[in-house]
Chains A and B, each alone.
Chain A
Amino acid sequence: MLSLRRKAVNAVMLSLTAVCTFLAVGTLLFILGYLFLHGGTSLTTDFFTKLPAPVGEAGGGMANALLGSAKLLLLATSIGVPIGFLGGVYLAEFGGSSFSFFVRYTTDLLNGVPSIVIGIFAYTLIVLPQGHFSTLAGGLALGVMMIPIAIRSSEDFLRAVPVSLREGAMALGASKAKTIFTVVIPAAKAGLITGIMLNVARVAGETAPLIFTAFGNRFWSPGWGQPTASLPVMIYTYAISPYKDWKQQAWSAGFVLLMLVLTINVFARVILSKRGHAAR
């Protein structure tokens, strides 16, 4: 016999869990809607093509911050992805048990280190000896952050390749290296590329490690040795500024950044789910 009380508890608690879920999902929809209304609707072409206006003048854009972010991400990708990818190949194809476990554990710990601490790390390695902020230092900070994710995602996707493919290649006389580079990696290609995309999307929004490495700049930053503006840092400085026009631009920049990050995420996850891998 099911007492009324137990039935009621059952119904109430189960509906509460549904409420929790819709609160979480609702937050995302709220964020999207709010940024679109406040940032998306006031987006102009100036935003993409012009330098920031001098303090006190209205208008201007964030072209230098967009280019700065692109350069930082390019540098970070070229530091983080090769190391992470090859490290992942080691873990998936060569690794023994205890050493691999140790590497994997360290990778996860490094992944959990707060981004601001990684910023200090890049500061002590580059800014301190050189005596000035630079694109290089910012790119290094983001690059270090990319390594652990690149290792784990490439390991996961390489492991998802069926053993039979490896055996087939080896039965035909291919060496282990040849098997890895001509059979296993091409088979995991889509996953590997989406892994890199998600990785880039994650560091694209990082602000904390850039504040005292790439710093900021109201002008173009040629080369790699000068301080550079970046989209996230620009949003931060504009948001806490006292100027109304700057705050408005912070919303526009926030909208652009959010769209960029979410588009990459959606795109990557759709590719992943089509290929039947776990979307993560």
Chain B
Amino acid sequence: MAASTTIAPLNARPSGRASAFLQRLRSGDDIAYVVTLTCALSILAVTALLVFELYRNSALPRHQFGWSFLVTSTWDPVAEQFGALPFIYGTVVTSALALLMAIPLGVGAAIFLAELAPAKLSNGLTFLIELLAAVPSVIFGLLGIFVLVPALIAVAPAIQAVLGWTPLFSGPFYGVSMFSAGVVLTVMIIPFIISISREVILAVPTEQREGALALGATKWETTWDVVIPFARKGIMGSIFLALARSLGETMAVTMVIGNEPAIHASLLAPGYSIAAIIANEFAEAPGELYRGALIELGLVLFGLTIVINGLARVLVLSTTKKGTS
């Protein structure tokens, strides 16, 4: 920003004279301006086109089912009955589960990296955690199927012995389930919570810590009662960003959620998510209504993530004032 304001006079508005115009054209300023502006505008165009295409191609099911699409739970391509509720349910439950596990772990790790670890160790560990964020989701799915699911089958009886009386952990367990998907999502979203939370915690002014410590607070009390409240909005932002990620996560979830379009109270039962059904059925969906219903699911997913992302950006923006990642 500073750069463009200090040198603005050289890029003054056109004087109106033809010769001056040619002069500037020859120096390339206006060409560069128009070309780069076009590219910046194209991002708006692409986003608008994306919304338009999703909306236009889902017209058929929208007219046929209206809002009941969102609240009915029959998914029967043969009878051409489409209801999105089981998928919305699966998406929300798995993401909520992932947040439940990822928030304490992620914020805890962020506190360690920002407040306790020496700078060198902190940078090294953050580097590794950012690498974890770079692992492709299909790899998480691969490990989910072949490592996590067998491991969960092994420990499930123990969990059910203790918690089996609650509806959340009742019923038979086949390994693939909403719980497994939640665990995989946890691992996938933790790096986002850690790296953004660490940054906002580091941005808390040192005076805040010094003040608390001078009043006799312990290191933990300083962190928990002073630093974290100060960074609260930014941490919330990181959580929303992580939530948006997990709502839209496709491959890893598809591979472990069990792909059963039904609503079960038990977390140990198989389920289905919006992204998973699109991944599984879109390529082979015959008929305009069927395809339209899947595209409408895409539109629902798009809407969900846009709202949550928008909220997250505002929160992160308001604390770091630096913008978004």
Which residues of A approach B to under 8 Å, CB–CB?
Answer: 2, 6-7, 9-10, 13-14, 16-21, 23-25, 27-29, 31, 34-35, 38, 82-87, 89-95, 97, 100, 102-110, 112-121, 123-125, 128, 133, 144, 147-148, 151-152, 159, 161, 163, 166-167, 170, 175-181, 201-202, 204-208, 211-212, 215, 232, 235-236, 239-240, 247, 250-251, 254, 257-258, 261-262, 265-266, 269, 279-280
**Whole-angstrom distance from the CB of B106 to the nearest CB of chain A?**
7
**Whole-angstrom distance from the CB of B67 to the nearest CB of chain A?**
21
A124 to B288, CA, bound (A): 12
Are A120 and B278 within 8 A (Cβ)? yes
Is chain B's binding surface mostly helix, strand, loop or mixed? helix
Residues in A with CB closer than 8 Å to B147 are 34
**Whole-angstrom distance from the CB of B221 to the nearest CB of chain A?**
7
**Whole-angstrom distance from the CB of B261 to the nearest CB of chain A?**
17
Residues in B with CB closer than 8 Å to A202 are 134
Are B132 and A24 within 8 A (Cβ)? yes
**Whole-angstrom distance from the CB of A112 to the nearest CB of chain B?**
4
Given contact pairs A10-B221, A17-B116, A103-B44, enumerate 11 new A-B contacts (beta carbons under 8 Å): A86-B38, A91-B40, A94-B32, A102-B44, A105-B310, A110-B50, A152-B324, A176-B32, A177-B28, A232-B138, A269-B127
Residues in B with CB closer than 8 Å to A18 are 112, 116
Which residues of B approach A to under 8 Å, CB–CB?
Answer: 1-4, 6-7, 10-11, 24, 27-29, 31-33, 35-44, 46-47, 49-50, 53-54, 56-57, 104-106, 108-109, 111-113, 115-117, 125, 127-132, 134-139, 141-143, 145-147, 187, 190-191, 194, 216, 218-221, 224, 241, 244-245, 247-251, 255, 275, 278-279, 282-283, 294-295, 298, 301-302, 305-306, 309-310, 313, 323-325
Residues in B with CB closer than 8 Å to A232 are 136, 138, 251
Interface centre among A114, A205, A280 (most CB of B within 10 A): A114
Tell me the nearest residue of chain B to A124, going by C-beta. Answer: B53
Residues in A with CB closer than 8 Å to B139 are 31, 35, 205, 235, 254, 257-258
Are B125 and A25 within 8 A (Cβ)? yes
Tell me the nearest residue of chain A to B240, going by C-beta. Answer: A112
Are A90 and B129 within 8 A (Cβ)? no
Residues in A with CB closer than 8 Å to B146 are 38, 239, 247
Are B250 and A113 within 8 A (Cβ)? no
A272 to B68, CA, bound (A): 51
**Whole-angstrom distance from the CB of B325 to the nearest CB of chain A?**
6
A152 to B35, CA, bound (A): 17
The answer to whether A20 and B106 touch (CB under 8 A), given A34-B147, A205-B136, is yes
A109 to B241, CA, bound (A): 11
Once A and B bind, how many residue pairs between them come within 8 Å at the CB atom? 311
Are B248 and A117 within 8 A (Cβ)? yes
Residues in B with CB closer than 8 Å to A262 are 131, 134-135
The answer to whether A166 and B47 touch (CB under 8 A), given A87-B42, A177-B28, is no
Are B250 and A115 within 8 A (Cβ)? yes
The answer to whether A166 and B7 touch (CB under 8 A), given A208-B279, A212-B283, A269-B127, is yes
**Whole-angstrom distance from the CB of A265 to the nearest CB of chain B?**
5
Residues in A with CB closer than 8 Å to B115 are 17
Instruction: For B251, give its contact among A20, A24, A147, A208 (CB under 8 Å).
Output: A208
A35 to B301, CA, bound (A): 32
Residues in B with CB closer than 8 Å to A118 are 50
Are A151 and B43 within 8 A (Cβ)? yes
A215 to B1, CA, bound (A): 44
Instruction: For A207, give its contact among B24, B113, B251 (CB under 8 Å).
Output: B251
Are B29 and A9 within 8 A (Cβ)? no
Are B128 and A25 within 8 A (Cβ)? yes
Instruction: For A93, give its contact among B3, B41, B251 (CB under 8 Å).
Output: B3
8 residue pairs bridging A and B, Cβ less than 8 Å apart = A2-B218, A20-B105, A21-B108, A21-B113, A116-B275, A166-B7, A204-B136, A254-B139
